[in-house]
């Protein structure tokens, strides 16, 4: 009898299959994962992979062809708009599905489904911020506009056509690694992706919670010193001296403001888990024909975002008989976001404006069903949230919605779970308002002149952007466009009372009064996330402005003439440190050299002999950065640490301007010591402390700037997949330098377009067209990006259908054809 | 001879199953081969193991060459294999082989019990 051995060995086999078909913590199901016919080997794309295909779908109206060039950039030729966006959706899904799926899931507060319980607080915060609420409101506007609706529908169908055709073996490898499946696309998910951008760019531009804590400690004049609204050195987007119209709306400060708002000294415990990176910014500029060698305008744009693999951008050309546009798109959204067509070019930078405020809510009781508003109890709308958690039980959360918006923080959640403590704070955010941002890009893609551009952008609400523009007709322009609340002075810097209408926004700045400039005599316009206007603008416009890049760019452009695209490439890759140039006199003028030891003296000499360029091999930049950061700590930390839990850290520019104006400023003194420190003392102490850290870095061979900051482009799953990242990239720069590369953040796309008769365009992004880490197209642009090189963008035309640049052809048609 | 035929047939049927069935189809086909070509348990185990090990490692190796090891080196860093493509190929073969080996051994015992 062999029954017993059979049963034993059959049980072992079954046990093995079970164990190898199941995910164990971070370990993928190894049998499924490594099977060469099913698993990750299937994602190892042959180097000679062909992308030729013949495809037919019921949802296509006619025929279309996609021509891929050698960089795998698709040039889509369709007969009509619907087919065009169907194919854009199909291509986004084919090359970037995991990214789109992950980003929209994260936007909707469903990250725990993929990442497990460590993402629960993130998900709660996304939901409490009302991300889905915002996307649903946006969808209401989209539904009202037949054009946008049709394009969204076609795009969604294209994505789903690809998802439906996917076999298990063809799943992007991240799904295999994390053992889950892609979810079908919907128009709502497109709206969610755009709201993710809204959060990235317009949610982290206020510091109301931290400001409220600072207000509880500091006097009004101290607050103005620490957090000034307008920097002296500002070179605004709208050229200085431009006169502004009389304001169309003059908001009035409530009578109770002194006691209930400015006089309120009560800190908040709530904090945001996932506050967007302060460096989310960008550069763009445009020069008129009067300043260029060719006589045609040149437009440049480099948006600074968290760098990732796959990149946030996907390069594409979209052509129909009535439109032809080239640029970068966001996988998850139809249209080209930054690009050019036969007549115009456009680009965007972030407006950095504060469009999000908090209101304190008084609930009747713990059920949060009613809140006190205008002298009576009003009903809230309670939204039940169920967060699915990978490998764990569902988590439930209830969010109360008020007239202001969702109550983001309450007794049960203050950024982390809380039991019966903390103030109830509702959030009022422009991104919640119904709006249709998609139509702006649909129109911009087709704009032929300045009027079309103006008409396209004027309905764009959130996130506020600086739309730069140039046309073949020779016009140049910039508009800071968005829906911006009209605030009375200092309204919304701190948590506001939410018991009646008196502190609500009284209206919005009329669109025509948004900061803008067209064809200035100086022949150029620029934006680098600075305050858009000088102090003569008749509105109070707080925000997280970044001053230095605008200064560098403005100075450079003012001095240039006979500009060529090559000059513009050099400027996008410029390493000049404007802030350090200004700071140098203070640092060198106040350091007490006789008190330094030999090591400190060495670093001082490196700094003294530095050429002010943050090149990759620069040691001076490293010394400067450590020394200046250390000086900030010396000056600010003693006062700011009185603020609990945390005060906003003042900007670099703020300290610089304070010290230039007042070398005996009271903040210089360390309040924790009996003696009174002078600027000499703190500058010297800062160098001494920095030297300790610099010596450690030097011992590790990390004194050179690029070694010090280790520029890295991470995979979207970051620390979970370090092997999918590109580390140690040999680039310099920093957040406040034109070439704004920090450790993992920086120019996510560099574009230069010369609007000559024959458009001449260049671009590069730190990634590759394929999201598949098993493809040679995953990161093949990175080396060029590192070296500051560009790809010449092939603006394909009808007559080029047999051009030798075409490597592969993908044919699409209706099933019945 | 029987041993060699069993290995080849195991590999062949495993490949075909991979076209239609999930990855664990190799357990079924390996068991079937062991029932059809009866060998003692130890030999059956070995031919099952070698059949699928050679198939999986061979396929992985072929894929890896065409891919210039772009992916295997990354995966071999995600899994603790020191970034070695060869190690990943071997582990791949071994995992498939083990399952097939035990399945084949079960097949051998199954055939034997039917006889007695």
State pLDDT tens for residues A616-633. 999 999 999 999 999 999
Nearest to A468 by CA among A340, A286, A292: A286
Q: If DSSP codes are grouped into helix, strand and coil, which group holds residue A493?
A: coil
Rounded mean pLDDT of chain A?
A: 96
Interface of A with B (CB under 8 A): 1-3, 5-6, 9-10, 12-13, 16-17, 20-21, 30-32, 34-48, 168, 173, 177, 721-724, 773-776, 778
Helix, strand, coil: what percent of chain B each, to 5?
Answer: 80, 0, 20
Confidence bin at A181 (pLDDT 50/70/90):
very high
Which member of A16, A36, A723 has the closest CB to residue B99? A16
Element housing A699 (H / E): helix A679-699
Beta-bridge mates of residue A314: A329
Q: How far apart are alpha carbons A635 and A682 in whole angstroms?
A: 7
Q: How far apart are alpha carbons A156 and A172 in whole angstroms?
A: 19
Q: How far apart are alpha carbons A624 and B33 in whole angstroms?
A: 72
Contact A44 B41 (CB under 8 A): no
Which chain B residues are closer than 8 Å to A39 by Cβ?
23
Which member of B60, B70, B102 has the closest CB to residue A12? B102
Which member of A41, A177, A775 has the closest CB to residue B60? A41
Tens of pLDDT, residue by residue over A558-615, are 999 999 999 999 999 999 999 999 999 999 999 999 999 999 999 999 999 999 999 9
Element housing A809 (H / E): strand A808-814
Residues 6+ apart with CB under 8 A from A719: none
Q: How far apart are alpha carbons A285 and A568 in whole angstroms?
A: 10
A552 within domain boundaries: no
What is chain A's length? Answer: 817
pLDDT of residue A720: 83
Chain A: give the shortest CA distance to residue B52, in Å.
10
Q: Does position A706 have pLDDT exceeding 60, yes or no? A: yes
Query: Quick one: CA dihedral A130, A134, A136, A137, positive or negative?
Result: positive
**How many beta-carbon contacts under 8 Å exist across A and B?**
132
Q: pTM of this prediction?
A: 0.96
Q: How far is CA A468 from the centre of its chain?
A: 18
Which chain B residues are closer than 8 Å to A46 by Cβ?
63, 66-67
Contact A9 B41 (CB under 8 A): yes
Nearest to A285 by CA among A544, A542, A456, A517: A517
Chain A: give the shortest CA distance to residue B9, in Å.
18
Contact A32 B23 (CB under 8 A): yes
pLDDT of residue A3: 86
Contact B109 A2 (CB under 8 A): yes
User: What does the pLDDT average to over A53-73?
Assistant: 97
Tens of pLDDT, residue by residue over A197-226, are 999 999 999 999 999 999 999 999 999 999
Parent domain of A599 = 579-709
Identify from A41, A178, A777 which residue to disrupt to test chain B contact, counting B C-beta atoms within 10 A and taking the largest count: A41
Chain A: give the shortest CA distance to residue B28, in Å.
10
Phi and psi at residue A678, to the nearest 5° = -105, 175
More confident residue, B112 or A292: A292
Interface of B with A (CB under 8 A): 15, 18-19, 22-24, 26-27, 31, 41, 55-56, 59-60, 63-64, 66-68, 70-75, 77-78, 83, 88, 91-92, 95-96, 98-99, 102-103, 105-106, 109-110, 112-113, 116
What is the chain B residue with the closest CA to A726?
B74
A616 within domain boundaries: yes
CATH of the domain at A673: 1.10.1400
**B49 neighbors B31 (Cβ within 8 angstroms):** no
Q: How far is CA A795 from CA A74, A111, A452, A533, A565, in A?
A: 11, 38, 21, 36, 16
How does DSSP assign A230-277, residue by residue? S-TT---SSPTT---PPPS------TTIIIIIIT---------TTPPP
Phi and psi at residue A644, to the nearest 5° = -120, 140
Q: If DSSP codes are grouped into helix, strand and coil, which group holds residue A617?
A: coil
What is the chain A residue with the closest CA to B58?
A36
Q: How far is CA A3 from CA A9, A762, B10, B101, in A?
A: 10, 73, 23, 18
Contact B75 A16 (CB under 8 A): no
Q: How far apart are alpha carbons A384 and A592 in whole angstroms?
A: 62
Contact B77 A723 (CB under 8 A): yes
User: What does the pLDDT average to over A365-370?
Assistant: 94
What is the chain B residue with the closest CA to A775?
B70
Q: Is the peptide bond before A645 cis (omega within 30 degrees of 0)?
A: yes
Rounded mean pLDDT of chain B?
A: 93
Q: How far apart are alpha carbons A276 and A350 in whole angstroms?
A: 13
User: What does the pLDDT average to over A80-88?
Assistant: 98
Which chain B residues are closer than 8 Å to A45 by Cβ?
67, 70-71
Q: How far apart are alpha carbons B104 and A767 in whole angstroms?
A: 47
Which member of B102, B103, B116 has the closest CB to residue A1? B116
Parent domain of B99 = 2-115
Q: Does position A1 have pLDDT exceeding 60, yes or no? A: no
Q: How many domains is chain B partitioned into structurally?
A: 1
Report the relative pairing of strands A496-497 and A356-360 from DSSP bridges. Answer: parallel
How does DSSP assign A571-604, residue by residue? HHT--B-HHHHHHHHHHHHH--GGG--HHHHHHH
Q: How far apart are alpha carbons A455 and A440 in whole angstroms?
A: 8
**A151 neighbors A302 (Cβ within 8 angstroms):** no
Q: How far apart are alpha carbons A442 and A454 in whole angstroms?
A: 13
Tens of pLDDT, residue by residue over A472-506, are 999 999 999 999 999 999 999 999 999 999 999 99
**A300 neighbors A340 (Cβ within 8 angstroms):** no
Which member of B18, B64, B116 has the closest CB to residue A37? B18
Element housing A300 (H / E): strand A298-306
Confidence bin at B113 (pLDDT 50/70/90):
low
Q: How many domains is chain A partitioned into structurally?
A: 1
User: What does the pLDDT average to over A367-395?
Assistant: 96
Chain A: give the shortest CA distance to residue B5, in Å.
22
Which member of A13, A48, A723 has the closest CB to residue B103? A13
Query: Quick one: CA dihedral B1, B7, B8, B13, positive or negative?
Result: positive
Q: How far is CA A57 from the centre of its chain?
A: 35
A64 within domain boundaries: no
Beta-bridge mates of residue A498: none
Q: Which residues of A388-529 form beta strands (DSSP E)? A: 395-401, 407-409, 425-429, 465-471, 476-481, 496-497, 516-518, 524-527
User: What does the pLDDT average to over A395-416?
Assistant: 94
pLDDT of residue B116: 42
Q: How far apart are alpha carbons A154 and A4 in whole angstroms?
A: 60
Q: How far apart are alpha carbons A76 and A319 in whole angstroms?
A: 6
């Amino acid at each position: 009898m062999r029954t017993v051995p059979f049963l034993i060995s059959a049980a072992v086999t079954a046990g093995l299959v079970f164990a190898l078909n199941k995910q164990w913590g971070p370990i993928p199901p190894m049998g499924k994962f490594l099977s060469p016919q099913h698993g990750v080997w299937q994602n190892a794309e042959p180097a000679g992979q062909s992308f030729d295909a013949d495809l037919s779908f019921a949802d296509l109206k006619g025929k279309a062809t996609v021509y891929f060039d050698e960089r795998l950039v698709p040039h889509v030729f369709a007969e009509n708009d619907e087919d065009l966006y169907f194919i854009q959706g199909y291509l986004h899904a084919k090359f970037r599905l995991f990214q789109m799926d992950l980003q929209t899931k994260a936007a909707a507060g469903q990250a725990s489904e993929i990442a497990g319980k460590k993402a629960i607080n993130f998900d709660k915060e996304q939901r409490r911020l009302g991300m889905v609420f915002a996307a649903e409101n946006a969808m209401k506007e989209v539904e009202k506009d037949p054009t946008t609706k049709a394009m969204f529908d076609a795009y969604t169908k294209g994505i789903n056509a690809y998802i439906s055709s996917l076999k298990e073996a063809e799943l992007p490898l991240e799904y295999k690694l994390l053992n889950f499946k892609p979810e079908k696309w919907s128009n709502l998910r497109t709206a969610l992706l755009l709201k993710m951008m809204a959060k990235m760019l317009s949610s982290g531009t206020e510091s109301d919670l931290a400001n409220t804590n600072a207000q509880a400690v500091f006097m009004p004049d101290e607050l103005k010193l620490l957090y000034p609204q307008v920097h002296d050195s500002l070179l605004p987007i709208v050229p200085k001296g431009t006169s502004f119209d009389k304001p169309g709306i003059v908001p009035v400060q409530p009578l109770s403001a002194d006691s209930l708002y400015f006089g309120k000294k009560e800190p908040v415990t709530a904090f945001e888990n996932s506050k967007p990176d302060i460096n989310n910014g960008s550069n763009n500029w445009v020069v008129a024909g009067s300043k260029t060698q060719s006589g045609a305008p040149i437009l440049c744009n480099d948006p600074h975002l968290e760098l990732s693999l796959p990149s946030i951008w996907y390069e594409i050309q979209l052509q129909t008989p009535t439109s032809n546009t080239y640029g970068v798109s966001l996988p998850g959204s139809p249209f080209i976001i930054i690009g050019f067509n036969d007549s115009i070019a456009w680009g965007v930078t972030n407006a950095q404006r504060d469009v999000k405020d908090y209101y304190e809510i008084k609930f009747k009781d713990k059920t949060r069903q009613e809140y006190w508003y205008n002298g009576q109890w009003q009903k809230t709308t309670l939204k039940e949230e169920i967060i699915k958690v990978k490998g764990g039980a569902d988590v439930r959360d209830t969010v109360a919605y008020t007239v202001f918006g969702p109550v983001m923080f309450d007794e049960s959640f203050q950024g982390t779970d809380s039991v019966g403590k903390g103030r109830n704070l509702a959030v009022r955010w422009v991104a919640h308002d119904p709006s249709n941002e998609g139509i702006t890009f649909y129109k911009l893609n087709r704009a032929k002149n300045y009027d079309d551009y103006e008409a396209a952008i004027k309905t764009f609400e959130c996130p506020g952007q600086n739309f730069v523009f140039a046309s073949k007709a020779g016009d140049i322009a910039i508009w800071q466009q968005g829906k911006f609340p009209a605030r009375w002075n200092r309204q919304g810097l701190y948590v506001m009372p939410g018991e009646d209408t008196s502190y609500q926004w009284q209206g919005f700045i009329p669109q025509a009064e948004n900061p803008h400039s067209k064809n200035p005599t100086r022949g150029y316009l620029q934006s680098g996330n600075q305050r858009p206007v000088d102090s003569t603008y008749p509105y109070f416009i707080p925000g997280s402005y970044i001053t230095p890049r605008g200064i560098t760019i403005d100075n450079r452009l003012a001095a240039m003439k006979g500009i060529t695209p090559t000059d513009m490439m050099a400027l996008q890759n410029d390493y000049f440190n404007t802030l350090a140039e200004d700071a140098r006199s203070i640092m060198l003028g106040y350091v007490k050299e006789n008190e330094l030891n030999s090591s400190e003296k060495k670093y001082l000499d490196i700094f003294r002999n530095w050429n002010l360029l943050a090149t990759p091999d620069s040691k001076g930049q490293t010394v400067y950065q450590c020394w200046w950061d250390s000086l900030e700590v010396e000056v600010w930390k003693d006062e700011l640490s009185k603020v609990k839990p945390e005060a906003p850290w003042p900007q670099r520019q703020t300290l610089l301007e304070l010290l230039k104006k007042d070398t005996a400023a009271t903040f210089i003194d360390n309040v924790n010591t009996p003696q009174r420190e002078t600027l000499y003392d703190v500058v010297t102490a800062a160098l001494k402390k920095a030297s300790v850290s610099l010596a450690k870095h030097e011992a590790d061979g990390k004194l050179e700037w690029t070694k010090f900051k280790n520029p890295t482009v991470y995979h979207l799953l970051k620390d979970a997949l370090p092997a999918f990242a590109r580390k140690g990239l040999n680039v310099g720069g920093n957040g406040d330098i034109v070439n704004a590369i920090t450790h993992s953040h920086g120019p996510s796309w560099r574009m230069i377009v010369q609007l000559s008769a024959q458009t001449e365009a260049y671009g590069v992004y730190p990634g590759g067209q394929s999201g598949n880490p098993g493809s040679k197209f995953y990161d093949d642009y990175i080396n060029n990006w590192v070296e500051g090189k560009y790809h010449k963008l092939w603006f394909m035309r009808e007559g080029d259908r047999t051009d030798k640049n075409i490597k592969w052809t993908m044919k699409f048609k209706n099933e019945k054809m | 001879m029987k041993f060699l035929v069993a290995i080849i047939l195991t590999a062949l049927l495993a490949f075909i199953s991979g076209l239609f069935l999930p990855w664990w189809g190799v357990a079924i086909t390996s068991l079937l081969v062991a029932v059809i070509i009866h060998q003692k348990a130890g030999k059956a185990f070995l031919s099952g193991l070698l059949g699928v090990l050679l198939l999986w490692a061979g396929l992985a190796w072929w894929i890896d060459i065409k891919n210039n090891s772009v992916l295997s080196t990354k995966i071999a860093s995600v899994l603790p294999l020191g970034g070695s493509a060869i190690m990943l190929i071997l582990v791949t073969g071994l995992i498939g082989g083990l399952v097939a080996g035990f399945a084949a051994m079960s097949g051998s015992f199954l055939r034997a019990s039917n006889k007695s």
